[in-house]
Structures are given as structure tokens and as C-alpha cells.
Amino acid sequence: MKDFRSIMIADEESLRYFGSRVDGLTRGTSLSREEAFLLFQQILKNEQPDLQQGAFLAAITAKGATPQEIAGIWQAIYETDTVKVQPQVSCPLAENCGTGMDAIKTFNISTAASLVAAAGGVIMAKHGARAITSKCGTVDILEALGVDVECEPETVKRSIERAGIGIFNGMSSKVHPCALGRILSQIRFGTVLNVAGSLSNPARPEMAVRGVYSGQMVMPIAQAMQEIGYKRAYVVHGRSADGQRGMDELSTLGCTLVAEITEDEGLQTYTLRPQDLGLACGDEHALLHSGRMDEEAVGLLRILEGREAGARREIVCLNAAPLLYMAGKAADLKEGVEKAAEIMDSGLPAKKLREWVACQNSDPGPRLERLEEMLAEA
């Protein structure tokens, strides 16, 4: 057994080594994937003081994480701090989410788009969080709609298998039992964890639409996703009409920067305009989150029932289109937009939400009753 002095020396060496790597990050020196993996494992295991942990996150975020660093941090989270599941489904799994930290604070576009896609036959395995930098996270809005976001991963797995959609709460100790929730609960600024953490999906989907907060992050995150093993993906950053502000979604306000991953052609980048897909430029004000959860929940239900026209409906169609296209439900993005509109007009997304609430709950009765009350208000 080691004596106290030898333990203290080992701890001091660990502190100094970790600190030297943080110092390097502040000077613009990048880590290898292996270094990022080992250092972030120490954070997850709480083997470094809080100040060192915070300094690491701030330094790597300020420098700009490389694809190798993102992949290394993802690997640490996935291997060390993720309860893994394998849903038994007939089609490849898909996911969609955004990093947050964007300048344009919209309503929960990706949540609505995932329900439209699921209603169109895409099997969705979502992995989201409560609001950190936004007004309302995916987990927050789905909880308001009746989904049990604090359930066991096995319950989510069952929901994916039965309802074709489920969500893992990235801030829950049941999903990430070691430390991810602890870290996220202590910070109120965006970090590399907004990216690497969101990629740590317990079900390991093969397809994804991932929105990012900066145009500079489109390529690094796409390259990281390639390294992690995604077979099909869209990494997107949408812009405002004047091009000065961004959102972590495909945009109907202005151009969207896209990095598309395919098995045959690898990684391609291009710019997409709403007009390219038959959509008019949207009204930014109509897309903004009101800050009132009950109002936003009812508004989302109107979209899902096909009772919402205008800017919100069109941006949901746009963001559902890549999911439908990757899953083979549409021939291209333009047809994906048209298909999404047809799905919404049918009211099927609202029915899909009912199925989801019924499946991702241990006692769905009261939550289904509340959902029906909200649908009556919509």
C-alpha cells in the first residue's frame, strides 16, 4: 500500500501535468485524441480540482476544439459515463439536436422536426438537455408535453422500439451516471461539452442532423462525427437575413452553411438557401421563443396538428427534410420539405406525440390527460 507522501507526490504530478496541458491550450496548442480522452476522463472521475476542470473547459472552448479533441472528449464520455442501449428496430436510428449557444433564440424547432420525421417513419433516438444557454431546452419542452425525461434508459429504449421515438436526458445521472450532469449543472456558458456531450447518445445512431452555433464549427464537428462513426449526417449553421447572426438549425431567414456526410462521397460542404427548396424567407420575430413554457408547448402542438401556417411551420418542414431524406423517405431535400408539410397536414405528428408519452412513462395516464387538455387549447 502506498504511503501518504507517495500519494501526494503522484497527485502533485497529475496536477502539474494537467495544468501544463491547460496552459498549452491557452497558447493555442491542440491535444491529440488520446490526450483529450485521458484528460477528460480525469474530469469525469473528479480527479482534478474544480478550478482545473473549469480552466480546461474554458481554454479548449476559447481555442476552438479540433475534430480530434471533440472525438477524444466524446470517447471519454461514451466509454466512462454513458449507460448504453441497443434498441431492436428494423431501420437505422437517427437523431437531431443543436449545440445551443446561438445568437437567435428560436422556439424548439428540432423537437417539432423530430416528431414530424418520426410520424413519417424515421426511427428517432434523441439525446438532449435542459436549457443551459437557451430559454428552453429540448428536455424542458418535452417534459411540459408529458414525456418522462427522468426515466431509465431502458424505458427510452422501449419507447424507441414501440413508438419509434425516445429521448435520453443528457443531464440525468441515470443516463450519464458518473459526472456529465454534475459538470453541466455547474456552468452557465457554452463549452465543447455542448458538442461532445450531445454526441454521447446511448443508442449510437448512424444518422444525424446537428445544428451548431458558429459557422467555424461546421467542418470540425462534421469531421469529428466522421471519426466517431456516423454514416450519414448534416452539420448545419443557419444565418439571419443580414448574415450577421446565427442559429443552430437550418434557416429560413437566410443562408445555411452545410457539411453533409455520406458513405459514398464522404464529406461535402455547401450553402443552402430557403428558395432552393421552394420556401420563402421567414420572419425572424415569428420564430423567437416567447420565454413562456406553457405558451410554447401549446404553440408546438398547433404545429404538430397542422394548424400553424407561416414561418414556424416552414422552418420545421426545412429541418425535418434532411431526416426524411437520409432515412430514404424522400428522394432529395426538396421532396423532404414537401413530405414534411404533408405529414403535418395529416395531424400524424400529434398522434406520434401521444404514442411517445404513452411509451416513455411508467404511469402515462395523468400525463396523457394533461396532453389532451393542452391539445384542446391549441
233 phi and psi, to 5 degrees?
A: -165, 155
Residues 6+ apart with CB under 8 A from 30: 63, 66, 68, 69
Mean pLDDT across 146-174: 96
257 phi and psi, to 5 degrees?
A: -85, 130
Q: Rounded to whole angstroms, how far apart are CA atoms 314 and 122?
A: 19
Together in a domain, 107 and 49: no
Residues 6+ apart with CB under 8 A from 133: 100, 101, 188, 189, 190, 194
378 pLDDT band (50/70/90 cuts)?
Answer: confident
DSSP state of 206: S
pLDDT of residue 9 exceeding 90, the answer is: no
Kindly state whether residue 189 falls inside one of the protein's structural domains. Answer: yes
Together in a domain, 33 and 122: no
Together in a domain, 123 and 247: yes
Together in a domain, 173 and 249: yes
The pLDDT tens digits for 254-263 are: 999 999 999 9
Kindly state whether residue 179 falls inside one of the protein's structural domains. Answer: yes
Position 93, amino acid: L
Of all residues in the chain, the percent with pLDDT exceeding 70 is: 96
Together in a domain, 13 and 111: no
Kindly state whether residue 370 falls inside one of the protein's structural domains. Answer: no
Total structural domains within the chain:
2
The pLDDT tens digits for 198-214 are: 899 999 999 999 999 89
The CATH number of the domain holding residue 312 is 3.40.1030.10
First to last CA, the chain: 66
Q: Rounded to whole angstroms, how far apart are CA atoms 204 and 334?
A: 28
| Res 179: pLDDT | 84
Residues 6+ apart with CB under 8 A from 323: 94, 96, 113, 114, 117, 122, 124, 207, 209, 336
pLDDT of residue 4 exceeding 50, the answer is: no
Mean pLDDT across 236-240: 98
| Res 134: pLDDT | 58
Query: Which is nearest to 72 in space by CA: 256, 200, 219?
Result: 200
Assigned C-alpha cell, 174: 441515470
Kindly state whether residue 37 falls inside one of the protein's structural domains. Answer: yes
Together in a domain, 131 and 23: no
Residues 6+ apart with CB under 8 A from 249: 98, 106, 109, 110, 211, 236, 238, 315, 319
| Res 375: pLDDT | 94
The residue among 145 and 7 whose pLDDT is bigger is: 145
Mean pLDDT across 354-366: 96
Kindly state whether residue 73 falls inside one of the protein's structural domains. Answer: no
Mean pLDDT across 279-307: 94
Q: Where are the alpha helices (DSSP H) in the chain?
A: 4-26, 33-44, 50-63, 67-81, 109-119, 138-145, 153-163, 180-185, 193-199, 218-228, 284-287, 293-304, 311-326, 333-346, 348-359, 364-377
pLDDT of residue 135 exceeding 80, the answer is: no
The pLDDT tens digits for 71-108 are: 999 999 999 999 999 999 999 999 999 887 788 999 99
Region of poorest pLDDT, from 188-197, 289-298, 311-320: 188-197
pLDDT of residue 8 exceeding 70, the answer is: no
| Res 130: pLDDT | 83
Query: Which is nearest to 356 in space by CA: 201, 126, 21?
Result: 126
Together in a domain, 14 and 156: no
Together in a domain, 121 and 229: yes
In which domain, by residue range, is 23 found? 4-63
132 pLDDT band (50/70/90 cuts)?
Answer: low
pLDDT of residue 1 exceeding 50, the answer is: no
| Res 261: pLDDT | 98
Together in a domain, 11 and 129: no
Kindly state whether residue 231 falls inside one of the protein's structural domains. Answer: yes
Average pLDDT, the chain: 93
Q: Rounded to whole angstroms, how far apart are CA atoms 238 and 246?
A: 5
| Res 286: pLDDT | 95
The pLDDT tens digits for 296-336 are: 999 999 999 999 999 999 999 999 999 999 999 999 999 99
Kindly state whether residue 286 falls inside one of the protein's structural domains. Answer: yes
Together in a domain, 103 and 59: no
User: How many other CB atoms are there within 10 angstroms of residue 156's CB atom?
Assistant: 30
β-bridge mates for residue 235, sequence order? 210, 259
Kindly state whether residue 152 falls inside one of the protein's structural domains. Answer: yes
Assigned C-alpha cell, 212: 451548431
pLDDT of residue 189 exceeding 80, the answer is: no
Together in a domain, 216 and 340: yes
DSSP state of 31: P
For helices 109-119 and 311-326, give the axis angle rounded to 10 degrees.
50
CB 54 within 8 A of CB 18: no
Mean pLDDT across 267-290: 95
184 pLDDT band (50/70/90 cuts)?
Answer: confident
Query: Which is nearest to 55 in space by CA: 81, 29, 18, 80?
Result: 18
Region of poorest pLDDT, from 122-131, 143-152, 296-305, 363-372: 122-131
| Res 5: pLDDT | 45
Together in a domain, 329 and 257: yes
